[in-house]
Amino acid sequence: MSHFSKRLFSERAATWLEQSGLHPLLARLYAARGVESPDELSLELKNLLSPSDLKNCTSTATLLADILDQRESMLIVADYDCDGATACAVGVRGLKMLGGADTPIQFLVPNRFTMGYGLTPDVVELAAQQIPKPKYLITVDNGIASEAGVERANELGMAVIVTDHHLPGNKLPKAAAIVNPNQPNCEFASKALAGVGVMFYVLIALRAELRKRGKFTNETQPKLENLLDLVALGTVADVAQLDRNNRILVSNGLKRIRAGISQAGMQALFQVATRDPRTANTFDLGFAIGPRLNAAGRLADMTLGIRLLLTDNSAEALSLAQELDRINRERRVIETGMQESALAHLSEEQLSGTMALRSSICLWNPEWHQGVVGIVASRLKERFNRPTIIFAPDGNTGEELRGSGRSLTGFHLRDALDLVSKKEPGLILKFGGHAMAAGLTIRKNDFERFDASFQEVANDLLTNELLERQHIHDGALHPSEFTPEIGDLLADEIWGQGFPQPIFYGDFEITQQSLMKEKHLRLLVKPVTSESAGTTTKPLTAVWFNRTQSLPSKAKLAYRLVTDRYQGQARVQLMIEAHDETQVN
């Protein structure tokens, strides 16, 4: 079952925002997302939180300034996802801009299939073999849980600077410096910084320190703002909460992409994704650009993606982007095959009636690819509204399975795995993650035992309310608001995790429906409101992706409003998200 509820907002806040000059519809939407005063509307860079509030950021900047002075060799240890790749590129580019042009600055990305996640002792051994051997390792988007790796680096004479945003364990690694808004006693007001955001903050503090040392003035200092396109991409692709500080970073990054002031690699990614950078928005970053960059880490080697973000040569950028696009198409084929075999297995369970009793989904298959398990888990979680963990063989001995899980709001996945590991010590070999996503390793022979144990924990913690699909909407649109101008107005805003894209809800008359490509429902609809009674309104085009079942002639629909441009003509289009079957018109 699905439950539909309207997002509440303060009329007082909406009126105040509207009186400040904000469009009435945006005033209502912003108020419903917690914006209370016009002061919060400004997304200028000067409104960013200060780096001095981020624990150890200033002292780390002092250390980095000394390292640059002495031209000591550095190596950035990245992660193999989009946040890690952009954080690495921001780190390399930023350090070179700030005086490291003659300093050896290398980078290394662990292979997700052989080395696992983070700064492991194996990764440290590999780092020590680089020429020249680095004196400092700088982690980006990882490292906060790498106690053993940091210890090994110290033994090998390499100091570690950790920049990360993940939650720490019970003990912090013995690093030379740790910058992480989620470490104990950090007063930084935005805990939602992505890994790339943390690295950007370190660079801003470093620039201030170098100004203090007389290396340059406000007028002559390098423009670190030119890296904000990468910061925006990493933040959106990592599904970081878009609090005001992150919205400032993303908004300014998008401004640069739209104005054509972005890295050659970013421009090439927009080109191969056939997206127009002049109208770039968070949807493009999250669903077109991010997946192409992520594909390298999923199926091949994220070094490819980082090389793309580091090149200033547009021909090389295009060639690398085309390779990433090819890998992403391969990823889609693998993902589709995995999803189909998972659905075939689950449909058997549905037929036998056991699926209805499940409050979680755990599956594995010897043919599945470990680089794609997270995406498949996400798709199945969306489809069945159950916490889902998908496993694949680890690729080394074949005796272990690596799993990636996705969860529902209200069911903390990492804590659930912790409960399983406490109930059955040794069942999970290793695990980590957060509320909505987690990764783990188990023995192949222990899969059934893990499935039963995880199912037990899910049954204990999940209520019927949590298992009911929630659709939170922003109410109805006025008939005068179904225009391309409103679609453009909405597309220009910074929506994302924690500041959700508006979904509207209302009554419609369905005048026509057909199937596109045999898998998407295409409709002509007319809004039915008290204001539209007796008027002749032109039908609107609506699309419901991956739905083949037809709708009744009158329906209550939840939808997004977008502007579609075809052959120079702009027209409004509804992207349907859900049908409220509990309401009969």
For residue 233, what pLDDT is reported? 98
Residues 512-539: pLDDT tens digits? 999 998 889 999 999 997 765 555 578 9
Average the pLDDT over each of 199-208, 381-390, 461-470, 509-518 and give the range with the smallest value: 461-470
One-letter amino acid at 555 equals: A
Evaluate if residue 211 carries a pLDDT over 70.
yes
For 217, residues 6+ apart whose C-beta sits below 8 A from its C-beta are: 211
Measured distance CA(541)–CA(512) in Å, rounded: 10
How high is the mean pLDDT of the chain?
93
For residue 534, what pLDDT is reported? 52
Residues 148-166: pLDDT tens digits? 999 999 999 999 999 999 9
Q: Can you tell me the mean pLDDT for 192-212? A: 98
State how beta strands 569-579 and 540-544 pair: parallel
Of 340, 335, 344, 341, which Cα lies nearest the Cα of 369? 335
For residue 3, what pLDDT is reported? 86
For residue 185, what pLDDT is reported? 97
Q: Can you tell me the mean pLDDT for 547-552? A: 92
Contact 236, 250 (CB under 8 A): yes
For residue 468, what pLDDT is reported? 87
Residues 343-394: pLDDT tens digits? 998 987 665 566 567 899 999 999 999 999 999 999 999 989 999 999 999 8
Q: Residues for the chain: how many in total?
A: 585
Q: Can you tell me the mean pLDDT for 267-282? A: 97
For the chain, what percent of residues have pLDDT higher than 90? 84
Measured distance CA(117)–CA(112) in Å, rounded: 6
For residue 406, what pLDDT is reported? 96
For residue 351, what pLDDT is reported? 58
The alpha-helical segments, DSSP class H, found in 290-372 are 290-299, 303-310, 314-352
Evaluate if residue 410 carries a pLDDT over 60.
yes
Q: Can you tell me the mean pLDDT for 301-316? A: 97
Q: What is the pTM of this model?
A: 0.93
Secondary structure class of 307 (helix, strand, coil) = helix
**Band of pLDDT at residue 186, cut at 50, 70 and 90:** very high
Contact 198, 163 (CB under 8 A): yes
Q: Can you tell me the mean pLDDT for 475-504? A: 94
For 568, residues 6+ apart whose C-beta sits below 8 A from its C-beta are: none
Q: Can you tell me the mean pLDDT for 478-503? A: 94
Evaluate if residue 317 carries a pLDDT over 90.
yes
Sign of CA dihedral 130, 132, 135, 141: negative
One-letter amino acid at 377 equals: A
Evaluate if residue 585 carries a pLDDT over 80.
no
Can you give 30-91 as a three-state secondary structure string? HHHCCCCCHHHHCCCHHHCCCHHHCCCHHHHHHHHHHHHHHCCCEEEECCCCHHHHHHHHHH
